[in-house]
Amino acid sequence: MAEKSRKPGASRKAPGVGKKPNTGRAGGRASARSRGNAKTPDTLLLVATRKGAWLYSSDGSRRQWKAAGPHFLGQIVNHLVLDPRDRRTILAATSTGHLGPTLHRSTNFGRSWQEAARPPGFAKAPDGQTGRTVKHTFWLTPGHASEPNVWYAGTSPQGLFRSEDGGNHWEPFGAINDDQQYRSWMGREQDGTPDGPKLHSITIDPRDPKHMYIGMSGGGVHESHDAGRSFAPLAKGLEVVEGFNPADMTFHDPHCIRLCPGNPDRLYQQNHCGIYRIDRPSDEWVRIGRNMPGRIGDIGFPMVVHPRNDQVVWVFPMDGQSVWPRTSPDGKPAVYQTRNAGKTWQRKNTGLPDNQAWWTVKRQAMTADAHDPVGLYFGTTSGDLWMSRDEGQNWRNIARHLPEIYAVETALL
């Protein structure tokens, strides 16, 4: 059957920026224009959680933060992204247990939200075949700067979708969603990650709107040069779990793929089996995570690249022993940084808990701003929001006791 759009009730006005009972103006236009300037623009954090979304704002100093929210209280918010092309439109991937997944859009920094007229949904299956249903939209990516109304979405189970009207109507990519070879690589839903298999890390080359990368957990890394009409695997050099065949894309599980803004020919990847780098036009990934401290390893989910320096990357390792407890190693969380493209790594934990901190960080819940020095941010599975104003040298907590944090994004206003 064709999947139906299932609405979580009529659109309602969410607690918006600068409206009571919120505690501050997170991202309002008047706030951004009055406090910021060309040298130190305001900073906005968009925080998606298991039970709603919050916006945090600061001026260019990033010393004091004001919170606005919750938005969509009680709903699962998998991703919350501000469009960098107009710096005012926010898309939110939301879902509720009984009404299902949808997307919401705000053009006024969250003062009001409108539900998408046609959220991502799989095409009707041919007669005699079983169709698929989107469980939730997992990943949102704005299109190329030359395509101001284009957005991309990745779902669970794995599906790729495109909107050409700012996120109101979505169309599926048959080259991924319906291709029998790709469907076989995706595996069964029960074979995916604990809360379902994902299509994620949708990345558009800033030089070419037709050139894009995607990741599938499971199913591997894939590349398109024709705006998604066709894709090809990009898996050479990547390892898989011992005992499985690396030639079979089914067993490849990228966790997060990041393109370097300052050098789009370099990409980094945090994978189920380590940390990798690729330098195009090469088609082979190189495992740079083996240079991590042996007692820590190179297993984790999030990855952040420096906005200007392609040598600098940050990761957040988790306990990678055989049972995968999904906690910080030994209950001692730390960010690790490389300043030489993975040749060496340094532990950055000043200000973080010294022990008995058994949380970790999900793949979308760590990010960076574009200030100088770069600000780093991450949200934890225990609901804490952390930041560093100096590229990871020192950390401090800016919010506690939120629901489990699924994603953190930044924007400069």
Asked whether the beta carbons of 211 and 224 are under 8 A apart, the reply is yes
> ∠245-250-253 over CA atoms, to 5°?
95
Query: Could you tell me what percent of the chain has a pLDDT over 70?
Result: 89
pLDDT at 158: 95
- pLDDT class of 191 with cuts at 50, 70, 90: low
Q: Looking at residue 248, what DSSP letter applies?
A: S
Asked whether the beta carbons of 223 and 269 are under 8 A apart, the reply is no
- pLDDT class of 31 with cuts at 50, 70, 90: very low
Q: What is the dihedral of CA 95, 97, 100, 102, to 10 degrees?
A: -10
Rounded Cα–Cα distance for residues 193 and 66 (Å): 34
Q: Is 226 helix (H, G, I), strand (E, B) or coil?
A: coil
Q: Decide if pLDDT at 228 tops 50.
A: yes
Rounded Cα–Cα distance for residues 216 and 19 (Å): 39
Residue burial 213-228, b: 16+ Cβ < 10 Å; e: rest: bbbbbbbbbbbbeebb
Which tens digit of pLDDT belongs to each residue from 299-355? 999 999 999 999 999 999 999 877 788 999 999 999 999 999 999 999 999 999 999
User: 120: left (phi > 0), else alpha (psi -120 to 50), else beta?
Assistant: beta
**Could you tell me which residues are beta bridge partners of residue 43?**
58, 412
Residue burial 148-170, b: 16+ Cβ < 10 Å; e: rest: ebbbbbbbbbbbbbbbeebbbeb
Higher pLDDT pick, 202 / 5: 202
Secondary structure string (H, E, C) spanning 358-400:
CCCCCCECEEECCCCCCCEEEECCCCCEEEECCCCCCCEEEEC
Q: Which structure tokens are listed for 227?
A: 């705006």
- pLDDT class of 39 with cuts at 50, 70, 90: low
How are beta strands 136-142 and 151-156 bridged, if at all? antiparallel
The number of beta carbons lying within 10 Å of the beta carbon of residue 17 is 26
Those residues whose C-beta lies under 8 Å from the C-beta of residue 128, and which sit 6 or more positions away, are none
Q: Which amino acid is at 19?
A: K
Identify the weakest region by mean pLDDT among 22-36, 186-200, 344-358. 22-36
Rounded Cα–Cα distance for residues 352 and 345 (Å): 18
Sequence-separated contacts (24+) of 306-309 with Cβ below 8 Å: 306/260, 306/262, 306/368, 306/374, 306/391, 307/261, 307/262, 307/368, 307/369, 307/370, 307/374, 308/261, 308/262, 308/370, 309/262
How are beta strands 76-82 and 300-305 bridged, if at all? unpaired
Query: Could you tell me what percent of the chain has a pLDDT over 90?
Result: 79
Asked whether the beta carbons of 366 and 316 are under 8 A apart, the reply is yes
Which tens digit of pLDDT belongs to each residue from 261-273? 999 999 999 999 9
Higher pLDDT pick, 21 / 325: 325
Q: Which structure tokens are listed for 62?
A: 């990033």
pLDDT at 15: 35
Q: Could you tell me how many residues make up the chain?
A: 413
Q: Which structure tokens are listed for 130?
A: 């079983």
Mean predicted confidence (pLDDT) in 103-115: 94
Higher pLDDT pick, 6 / 259: 259
Which tens digit of pLDDT belongs to each residue from 117-172? 999 999 988 888 778 999 999 999 999 999 999 999 999 999 999 999 999 999 99
Unique residue bearing structure tokens 């699962």: 76
Mean pLDDT across the chain? 89
Unique residue bearing structure tokens 């022993």: 321
